[in-house]
Structure 1
Amino acid sequence: MSKYLVDKFLFTIDRDAALTERYREDPAGTVAWWEAEEANRILSCIDAEKSTWLRFTDEERDALATHDHVRLFEMGAHPFLTLTLWIAMFERDFDEPLGMQLDYAARLSHVSMPYPDIST
């Protein structure tokens, strides 16, 4: 897994409200667009500076396209990046206080230490 690329995706999507909404509404389309247009951008301020080799694996692409934070964590994605993005996308879907965060934690309750390596 390219933890760097997955974490870069999570970070950049979470930092733009329009992209966050786009990812919530069309996850597969957003992942495909981001991989094709943004993944290889070296310096986001210079369009001409791009690499050509960064790609998601099929497993990464599928987990991102299905909003599967459990699989992303198990593969080594940074949990703080998924948590902050998931809060932005899904907190509104829960009526109780901290409902989304409790659901997020419950889905990861099967994971025991040592946790997957989240270093990049």
Structure 2
Amino acid sequence: MSKYLMDKFLYTIDRDPALVARYKDDPRGTVAWWEAEEAGRILNCATGERSSWLAFAGDEREALSTHDYPKLFELGAHPFLTLTLFIAMFEHDYDEPLAFQHEYARRVAHVKMPYPDIAT
């Protein structure tokens, strides 16, 4: 498992509105594309390098592919990265102000202190 790679995915997707839309509409395809095409480039790896740290673990890939942010939080994804990306994707699906943020908090409330290690 590479928390750094998972966080890098969340960070880079969140910084590009076109990628945010793509990830919202096709999460599984976006994760597969990013892992295959972008991970090594973004991390400045030599062309063709395919080490295990350039691939998501199965549970990471599945959580990213299904927008399962509580699972990402449990796996150690940085909570600010998950929150900002998922706000960008889903806040407009709610009618009330801060409704998504409250939903996010409710869905990760089962994770008790100390939180998962978010060091990278």
TM-score under structure 2 normalisation?
0.93
Give the counterpart letter for 1:101 in structure 2. Q
The runs of 5 or more residues in structure 1 that have no matched partner are: none
Describe the superposition over 1:66-90 as per-residue Cα deviations: whole angstroms up to 9, x where unpaired: 0000000001000000000001000
Q: Distance in 2 between matches of 1:112 and 1:60?
A: 20
Give the counterpart letter for 2:71 in structure 1. R
Q: Distance in 1 between matches of 2:114 and 2:83?
A: 19
Describe the superposition over 1:72-111 as per-residue Cα deviations: whole angstroms up to 9, x where unpaired: 0001000000000001000000000100000000001111
> In angstroms, what is the RMSD of aligned CA positions?
1.2
CA shift, 1:49, in A, is 4.0
CA shift, 1:115, in A, is 0.5
- Worse-superposed segment, 94-103 or 50-59: 50-59
**Matched residue of 1:81: which SS?**
helix
**Matched residue of 1:39: which SS?**
helix
Per the alignment, residue 97 of structure 1 pairs with 97
Give the counterpart letter for 1:69 in structure 2. Y
Describe the superposition over 1:9-42 as per-residue Cα deviations: whole angstroms up to 9, x where unpaired: 0000000000000000000000000000011123
Q: Distance in 1 between matches of 2:109 and 2:59?
A: 22
Per the alignment, residue 61 of structure 2 pairs with 61
TM-score under structure 1 normalisation?
0.93
Q: Which runs of 4+ in 1 moved over 3 A?
A: 48-51
Q: Distance in 1 between matches of 2:31 and 2:65?
A: 6
1:36-115 to 2 correspondence within 5 Å? 36-41=36-41, 42-43=43-44, 49-50=46-47, 51-53=49-51, 54-115=54-115
Q: Distance in 2 between matches of 1:112 and 1:59?
A: 21
